[in-house]
Structure 1
Amino acid sequence: MNDLPADPTVQERRCPVDASLHGKLRTPDFAADPFGLLGELRDSGPVHRCEPPGAAPIWLITRHAEGAAALTDPRLVKDPTSVGLPAGWRPGEESSQLWSKDLASNDPPNHTRLRKLVARPFTKRRVESLRPGIEKAARELRETMMREETFDLVTDFAGGLTTATICDLLGIPAADRAIFQGWADTFFTVTVPGQADNDLFISITKYFARLIARKRDDPQDDLLSELIKDSSEDKLDGHELISMASSLLLTGHEPAVRLIGNVLFSLMRRPDLVRELREDATLIPATIREIIRFDSPALTSLVRFAAEDIEIGDVVIGRGDAVLVSLLAANRDPTKFERADEFLPSRDTSGHLGFGLGIHFCIGAQLAQVEAEVAVRELLPLLPELSLTVRENELPYHPGLQMYGVQSLPVRLRPV
């Protein structure tokens, strides 16, 4: 990595290293309530250095204006090798090449080509065509849960619904679905976004290599078969197929689980809002958008790397340094949203960063919102009769820096 410029005025404005910050970001207390610390960071400045000991610099952006600018800045790139870093990011760390050709790891012009090839199933019209299947899955899950004395709205319902949706979309056999929850949990609980277990990468690579081979011989009516059959000049090669399928599977599952969990938990804590939604279901989409802003399921963006020295706020980020945007902090920035720490379903949420911004805006955003809306419509009649089986302060929260939300929401019918 290049040294910072020698200009002393720039050096003086460089964000000081808080040796304790990385440790604070890893605690269960932060996972359960990140808003206090993120608010303090946002108030004290837009950019903060928070790398783990011995690692390359990682910078966390906590304000909306700087975060939105970073998400659309072409000088912040997704491919670490383009700035002289190893594929595994940290020097000396082995890494599978599983996702070197997915959307999240590429920059234009290759990213433009890849996104164009996979964008078709995620248009608003195509996603709406999936709604009947999502509704059917939600009804079946609800009926199954109601036969039990207790059930979990996150692991049983949200997890089951998003697994069924993304697996049906990709064409993954129903018998294989159980293994994906563990993969998603492992991938999204890494301490530093962008780095994950190499064994996990290898397992996913082998699985999709076998599945793609089977679909070449016996294509079905699904996205993966469609991508395999593509005869255009720009079609995906074998490596790209594996990377794209793996990326779409995990990123199409875990964020949607967290979103649905956050939505349902938010409604359980607001019985007046539940009554309002039962009287007027047209308010559900706006309520979900406010929950995405207020309790963003994505704690941070995926990692980017500075392709050159970049000044953001009062900080110079050196070439090769890693950059994260705290979407959770940006979405509660009072300079962007009036009364930002208040939950106001009727507010205009335009400009929230819950799904990112720019060319890497979440390709599955529309699908995730439809899944959440279906979940609310299906469970709305039940919510007044559900009660937690544990104290609220005993609920486990998703660890790591990537996702925010309850990992489990165990409930029973009829309060006791």
Structure 2
Amino acid sequence: MTVEELPVVGEEFMQHTHSTLARLRGEGRVCPIVMPRGTPSYLVTGYEDARALLSDPRMSKDSAGAHQLIAAKIGPENTVSDFGQSLVTHMLNADPPDHTRLRKLINKAFTARTVARLRPRIEEITAALLDEMEGRDQADLMPAFAGPVPITVICELLGIREEDRGEFTGWSTTLLSSGEADEMQSAGQSMTAYLVGLVAQKRAEPGPDLLSDLVLTTDDGDAMSEEELVATAFLLLVAGHETTVNLIANATLALLRAPEQLAKLRADPSLLPGAVEEFLRFDGPINIATLRFTKEPIEVGETTIPAGEFVQVSLLAANRDAERFPDPDQLDVTRPAGGHVAFGHGIHYCVGAPLARLEAEIALGGLLARFPDLRLAVEPEQLRYRNSTLVHGLQELPVLLR
């Protein structure tokens, strides 16, 4: 097939993701596709293939290499321009040894103890948001609850002022979309300018926050460069709220569409930690994993993916692979936890996974306990998803509270 004949990832994929992925899975373990901006790629949907590729050293995540490859395949005029380099030189877009160095520095500041001590504050934030919804008949859970919980937490963790949060949330939404290049350019420039100033502020007046810790952190005399600090702040800020916003919302929708599972969870709240793992498997917040390309030919089943090709690994599809998960399209809050790849796999496994799990557990537990009559305010078919191949998230989630 020529590039012009390949299936294009578009509206159907965004709005009916699981059924589209199931159809593409039926076409083979590897499916050639074209991404929204015209980049030819290979889509991988199977669980075992996904795990193998996510940890395969023959797959590169180097941002500079990816930028050059995109320019070679679809022309430099079709790539997002150099604003991106200020935001992408973080560990998620690096191969060893750069990745190893950056992750080690982040791990020193982003510890399990840091996450654990946040529980009382997350509970406080959750309760305050639920108080604001109390007495109302209806609410859109995206701006009223699912969004503010993780945004407030990550901003407090990084030491970001409350008045700045609205702006960067808009920039983040644009940068993770499949929208127009000029919109992304503008959002990227605004985000970069803000973060450059924030890093400078933390260096001049460090506080008791994670970003100040990263500015001051060294390992055997090694520290992050200014560009790396800006990009790392971007990564933690965006990944630190986008993943959890959509985990909370997708989980709520899944429960409201499966009343017998909701009843089980209400009857036995001790199921909640395991249920969070099932929400991650069933309808996780990330669809296609972040960009990867082959450094040398890789065999996947009977297909050989040549060197210098983009590989799109669908975490959503892998988590609904019937060869790994029995009845994968059924939500089961009592399903044995573990095994999903919602947070990735290998050296790029999400550093913020413990925080996302904790926030989701507290937020969902609080929401279900506070509103026993919670239900959808619209038919599920009326809900719309964001225009993104990376983030699998709702645009809005209207619910009736009583």
TM-score (norm 1): 0.88
**C-alpha separation in 1, matches of 2:101 and 2:324:** 33
Q: 1:121 offset after TM fit, Å?
A: 4.5
Q: 1:406 offset after TM fit, Å?
A: 2.2
Q: 1:99 offset after TM fit, Å?
A: 2.8
Structure with the higher fraction of residues in helix conformation: 2
Decide which moves more: 176-185 or 48-57. 48-57
For the 8 Å contact 1:355–1:361, the answer to whether it is kept is yes
For the 8 Å contact 1:191–1:401, the answer to whether it is kept is no
Q: Which amino acid aligns with 1:36?
A: S
> Counterpart in 2 of 1:19?
5
**C-alpha separation in 2, matches of 1:218 and 1:375:** 33
**C-alpha separation in 1, matches of 2:372 and 2:323:** 36
> Counterpart in 1 of 2:320?
332
> Counterpart in 2 of 1:284?
272
Structure 1 position 242 matched with structure 2 position 230: yes
**C-alpha separation in 2, matches of 1:69 and 1:321:** 17
Give SS of 2:399's match: strand
**C-alpha separation in 2, matches of 1:84 and 1:224:** 28
Q: 1:277 offset after TM fit, Å?
A: 2.2
Decide which moves more: 85-94 or 242-251. 85-94
Q: 1:180 offset after TM fit, Å?
A: 2.2
Query: Unaligned regions of 5+ residues in structure 2, if any?
Result: none
**C-alpha separation in 2, matches of 1:100 and 1:35:** 29
Q: After the TM superposition, which residues 336-351 of structure 1 pair with which residues of structure 2 at under 5 Å, given as runs?
A: 336-351=324-339
Deviations 1:103-131 (A, max 9, x none): 11101001011011112454433312111
Deviations 1:274-298 (A, max 9, x none): 3332332210011111111111211
> Counterpart in 1 of 2:188?
201
> Counterpart in 2 of 1:3?
none
Identity value in percent:
37
**C-alpha separation in 2, matches of 1:56 and 1:87:** 7
**Alpha-carbon distance change, 84 to 160 in structure 1, aligned in 2, over 3 angstroms:** closer
Match of 1:129 among 107, 117, 124: 117
Deviations 1:169-195 (A, max 9, x none): 111111111112212211222269x99
Deviations 1:120-155 (A, max 9, x none): 454433312111111111111111122544321122
For the 8 Å contact 1:309–1:317, the answer to whether it is kept is yes
Query: Unaligned regions of 5+ residues in structure 1, if any?
Result: 1-14
Match of 2:162 among 171, 174, 199: 174
Decide which moves more: 74-83 or 370-379. 74-83
For the 8 Å contact 1:76–1:306, the answer to whether it is kept is yes
Give SS of 2:87's match: coil
Structure 1 position 214 matched with structure 2 position 198: no
For the 8 Å contact 2:171–2:188, the answer to whether it is kept is no
Match of 2:15 among 32, 40, 47: 32
Q: After the TM superposition, which residues 305-320 of structure 1 pair with which residues of structure 2 at under 5 Å, given as runs?
A: 305-320=293-308
Q: 1:88 offset after TM fit, Å?
A: 6.7
Q: Which amino acid aligns with 1:108?
A: P
For the 8 Å contact 1:80–1:86, the answer to whether it is kept is no
Q: 1:84 offset after TM fit, Å?
A: 8.5
**Structure with the greater relative contact order (CA < 8 A, sep ≥ 6): 1 or 2?**
1
Q: Which amino acid aligns with 2:385?
A: Y
Give SS of 1:316's match: strand
> Counterpart in 2 of 1:101?
89
**Alpha-carbon distance change, 40 to 365 in structure 1, aligned in 2, over 3 angstroms:** same
Deviations 1:230-256 (A, max 9, x none): 244121121111010011101111111
> Counterpart in 1 of 2:215?
228
Q: 1:394 offset after TM fit, Å?
A: 1.3
Number of residue-to-residue matches in the alignment? 396
Q: 1:36 offset after TM fit, Å?
A: 1.7
Deviations 1:298-329 (A, max 9, x none): 11100101112222222222222111101111
**C-alpha separation in 2, matches of 1:100 and 1:114:** 13
**C-alpha separation in 2, matches of 1:55 and 1:45:** 21
**C-alpha separation in 1, matches of 2:70 and 2:208:** 34
**Alpha-carbon distance change, 125 to 240 in structure 1, aligned in 2, over 3 angstroms:** same
**C-alpha separation in 2, matches of 1:122 and 1:364:** 8
Q: After the TM superposition, which residues 110-129 of structure 1 pair with which residues of structure 2 at under 5 Å, given as runs?
A: 110-129=98-117
Deviations 1:369-394 (A, max 9, x none): 11110111111123432233333221
**C-alpha separation in 2, matches of 1:53 and 1:240:** 28
For the 8 Å contact 1:120–1:126, the answer to whether it is kept is no
TM-score (norm 2): 0.91
Match of 1:153 among 124, 136, 141: 141
Decide which moves more: 229-238 or 289-298. 229-238
Q: 1:217 offset after TM fit, Å?
A: 1.9
**Alpha-carbon distance change, 359 to 279 in structure 1, aligned in 2, over 3 angstroms:** same
**RMSD of aligned Cα (Å):** 2.4
Q: After the TM superposition, which residues 50-69 of structure 1 pair with which residues of structure 2 at under 5 Å, given as runs?
A: 50-52=33-35, 55-69=38-52
For the 8 Å contact 1:80–1:305, the answer to whether it is kept is no
Q: 1:365 offset after TM fit, Å?
A: 1.0
**Alpha-carbon distance change, 106 to 171 in structure 1, aligned in 2, over 3 angstroms:** same
**Alpha-carbon distance change, 195 to 169 in structure 1, aligned in 2, over 3 angstroms:** farther
Give SS of 1:60's match: strand
**C-alpha separation in 2, matches of 1:392 and 1:56:** 32
